Amino acid sequence: MELSHVISDSVLAATSLYVFFRYLIKLDLSSTILWESFVLSVAGAAIFGAIRFAGFEQAGLASMFFQKIATITGSVGLIGASFSLASGIPLKRIFVYLLLSLGFVLFAVSEGFGFKAIAEFMPIMAMTVVVIMGVFALTKGNVKIGFWMIAGVIFFGLATYRHLIFGKGEMSIDVFHYLTAAGILSLGMAVSGSEN
């Protein structure tokens, strides 16, 4: 058992579920689907990750599956969700389904044909778009939305490149979990800015 990883993964799972049930489930169905493609995939990865770190190695495969879904399909969902949030334009359901279909096709191509560059590229693309949408929200006067979107990307960026800052030790796993949890909470706060 790796207790610190169990705790940090549990914090990440709890934060993801809190954000989903506190902020995202209140949105229209199209927006909720886009946000949940990322947030609930992270929650699934964290739940199974905690189980794996608790000593049940079989849960590692499920954790990896949800990590890859969050990385690829979730990134596509984040792009659409952040556009809708920052612009204030609700996306039509058909467009949401097309976006998520694209995400699943990219996932299938990445996993089925070994194009690992997709998994490396999609988070960078999603973070870039979320920052652009955050700046756009700021220019429209939506300070809370813009600030929290940008803060979320800062946390995700720190989590992604944690090895450059914190080294490659065991502690970097916990740092990744806590920074990702902070990023997800920041996105939840951004969504809460649309309630005003």
Q: pLDDT at position 167, please?
A: 82
- Please check the confidence at residue 11 and state whether its pLDDT lies above 90: yes
Q: How far is CA 123 from the centre of its chain?
A: 9
End-to-end, the C-alpha distance of the chain in Å comes to 44
Contact 74, 45 (CB under 8 A): no
Residues 6+ apart with CB under 8 A from 164: none
> For residue range 131-163, what is the model confidence (pLDDT) as tens digits?
999 999 999 999 999 999 999 999 999 999 998
Residues 6+ apart with CB under 8 A from 48: 59, 60, 62, 63, 66
Amino acid at 129: V
Average pLDDT over residues 53-77: 97
State the residue range of the domain holding 11.
3-195
> For residue range 97-116, what is the model confidence (pLDDT) as tens digits?
999 999 999 999 999 999 99
Residues 6+ apart with CB under 8 A from 76: 37, 99, 100, 102, 103, 106, 122, 126
Q: How confident is the model at residue 27 (pLDDT cuts 50, 70, 90)?
A: very high
Q: pLDDT at position 72, please?
A: 97
Q: pLDDT at position 195, please?
A: 73
Mark out the alpha helices in the chain (DSSP H runs). 3-19, 29-53, 59-87, 93-112, 117-139, 143-160, 162-166, 171-192
The total number of structural domains in the chain stands at: 1
Burial class of 146 by CB neighbour count within 10 A (0 to 12, 13 to 18, 19+): buried
Q: pLDDT at position 172, please?
A: 92
- Please check the confidence at residue 196 and state whether its pLDDT lies above 60: no
